[in-house]
């Protein structure tokens, strides 16, 4: 399906969120000086943007060109304040491509004000209290005999296990998401980038 209109919409929403936060929603790659500084500091890059550990989850995510849909959803659900709080939080962050796997029209429907409750439930299903690193996840999986149950902020469960050397998450609907980039540390937690949107059932 074509996602051009959705991409345009979510990019505008991300820019609006950046303006609200007083941020420049410009990927770090647009600033050579910032790129060199990020390289020297060994700062991870997500969606073409440096993820500075001194910034919070929202401040970093708003600059990732791969997470404009997630940022727009966080704004629509009214979760900006929560995710800029002290936390710490572990966020499994689906990319734009992950959202594009959903049936046509799903994202647009979820972003409507009347569906805020459903959207909030989905987004908080991607957040686990505390700072859980990839090493922590692997250890939990080993201790659990091959799987680890994570309780999310919405009260639902995600089941983590290893698949082809990577951490995979099974959601309540039986869907599977793979962590494609782990341990992106923020001032208030850690982000693990995923390739699929997890659904609470």
Q: Which residue has the higher pLDDT, 2 or 140?
A: 140
Residue 41 is predicted with a pLDDT of 57
Range 46-63 average pLDDT: 80
Q: Which CATH superfamily is domain 4-194 in?
A: FAS1 domain (2.30.180.10)
- DSSP labels, the chain: ---HHHHHHHHHHHHHHHHHHT-----GGG-HHHHHHHHHTT--EETTEE--TTS-HHHHHTT-TT-HHHHHHHHHTT-HHHHTSS--EEEEEE-HHHHHTSPTTHHHHHTSGGGHHHHHHHHHTTEEES---HHHHHHHHHHTTS-EEEE-TTS-EEEEEEETTEEEEE-TTS-EEEEEEEEEEETTEEEEEESS-----
Q: Which residue has the higher pLDDT, 114 or 66?
A: 114
Range 93-118 average pLDDT: 92
Range 168-177 average pLDDT: 95
Enumerate the domain spans of the chain: 4-194
Read off the pLDDT of residues 103-113 as tens digits, 9 standing for 90 and up: 999 999 999 99
Residue 7 has pLDDT above 90, yes or no: no
Range 117-126 average pLDDT: 94
Q: Which residue has the higher pLDDT, 6 or 160?
A: 160
Read off the pLDDT of residues 130-146 as tens digits, 9 standing for 90 and up: 999 999 999 999 999 99
Q: 79 with 124: CB under 8 angstroms?
A: yes
Residue 55 has pLDDT above 90, yes or no: no
Read off the pLDDT of residues 145-159 as tens digits, 9 standing for 90 and up: 999 999 999 999 999
Residue 14 is predicted with a pLDDT of 41
């Amino acid at each position: 399906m074509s996602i051009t209109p959705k991409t345009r919409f979510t990019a505008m929403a991300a820019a609006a969120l950046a303006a609200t936060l007083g941020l420049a929603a410009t990927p770090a790659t647009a600033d050579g000086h910032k790129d060199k500084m990020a390289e020297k500091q060994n700062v991870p890059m997500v969606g073409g943007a440096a993820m500075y550990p001194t910034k919070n989850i929202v401040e970093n995510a708003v600059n990732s060109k791969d997470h404009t849909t997630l940022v727009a959803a966080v704004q629509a659900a009214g979760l900006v304040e929560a995710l800029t709080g002290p936390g710490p939080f572990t966020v499994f962050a689906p990319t734009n491509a992950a959202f594009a796997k959903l049936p046509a029209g799903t994202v647009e429907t979820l972003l409507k004000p009347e569906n805020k409750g459903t959207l909030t439930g989905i987004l908080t299903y991607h957040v686990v209290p505390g700072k859980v690193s990839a090493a922590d996840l692997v250890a939990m999986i080993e201790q659990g005999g091959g799987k680890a149950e994570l309780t999310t902020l919405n009260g639902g469960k995600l089941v983590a296990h290893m698949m082809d050397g990577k951490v995979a998450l099974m959601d309540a609907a039986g869907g599977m998401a793979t962590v494609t980039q782990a341990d992106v540390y923020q001032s208030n937690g850690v982000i693990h980038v995923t390739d699929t949107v997890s659904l609470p059932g």
